[in-house]
Structure 1
Amino acid sequence: MKRNSAAAGLTLIEVLVALAIFTVLSVAVLGSLPTLFKVNRSNQNDQAVTVAAKAFMESVRTNLSTRAAFDAGVLPAAPDTSLMGGLTCTPTQSNPVPTWVTLTGSPQVRRVTLTCEGSGQPTYTFTLDVGRPAS
């Protein structure tokens, strides 16, 4: 006997197989969501630290843009860490080339390093070299 094409449909076995395939795929996709959330949170922390460090380095560049300020070598306050997930940032400065000094003994290049670290988190280090401004 021939089946009527208008009455044709899915058998129970076909529905169960399709449901099993859908379940396996759903479990695989949903299983990766916690990892994706963790990566997203880590990227947000990285971005917050980078933005704060960039703002700090821009203020350093602005502060050291005159010869008097460059010779004084005073750094601005460290970035606010309230938005950086508990990281503490410490700015330091050094003379990367000790032989490059003026007659008065102040360096011609200052290297400013911002190190941000916290417990259980990676350490971030940002470096900026600033040349002595012309008079």
Structure 2
Amino acid sequence: MNRPHPAQAGLTLIEVLIALAIFTALSVAVLGLLPTLFQVNRNNQNDQAVTVAAKAFMESVRTAYSAQATFDAGTLPATPDTSLMGGLTCAATQANPVAAWVTPAGGPMLRRVTLTCAGTGQPTYTFTLDVGRPSS
């Protein structure tokens, strides 16, 4: 049997140091990305919280405006609770997007509800819903 000579078995110190240097360089590169990844994760959580709150608000608008009297009154539900949205504040507005579409009494046939959420140093989120006047 041919066995390797004891001087040829195992790794040399140079090989271990080179492997350690490569591992260190890769670790520094990966660890350098972690703060960016955490920031992206935080931004995604804020985006998701705002979107979920806006969806709930728009569904409450759709439910409220499903009755003709509420639609004609133009009363909007309360804006979403912003405690979980990372410091954003929301404001809701409504408008008649097509001025020619009015009832004989002069009320709008279509309402555009816009929810805008903004905060210092954060992007502005705008959500829009068009709701038609329900028939009696």
Question: What TM-score does the superposition give when structure 1 sets the normalisation length?
Answer: 0.95
**1:110 and 2:73 are equivalent in the alignment:** no
Q: Hey, what does 1:128 align to over in structure 2?
A: 129
Q: Hey, what does 2:26 align to over in structure 1?
A: 25
Name the SS for the 1:32 alignment partner: helix
Code of the residue aligned with 1:86 in structure 2: it is G
Moved over 6 A (4+): none
Q: Hey, what does 1:9 align to over in structure 2?
A: 10
Question: Separation in 1 of the partners of 2:50 and 2:23?
Answer: 41
Question: Separation in 1 of the partners of 2:38 and 2:71?
Answer: 44
Question: Separation in 2 of the partners of 1:3 and 1:113?
Answer: 78
Question: Separation in 1 of the partners of 2:74 and 2:85?
Answer: 26
Question: Separation in 2 of the partners of 1:77 and 1:112?
Answer: 13
Q: CA deviation at 1:134?
A: 1.6
Question: What TM-score does the superposition give when structure 2 sets the normalisation length?
Answer: 0.94
Runs of 5+ unmatched residues, structure 2: none
Question: Separation in 2 of the partners of 1:26 and 1:32?
Answer: 10
Q: CA deviation at 1:4?
A: 3.0
Identity of aligned residues (%): 77
Deviation digits for residues 3-39 of structure 1 (CA, Å, limit 9, x no counterpart): 337x710111110000000000000000000000001
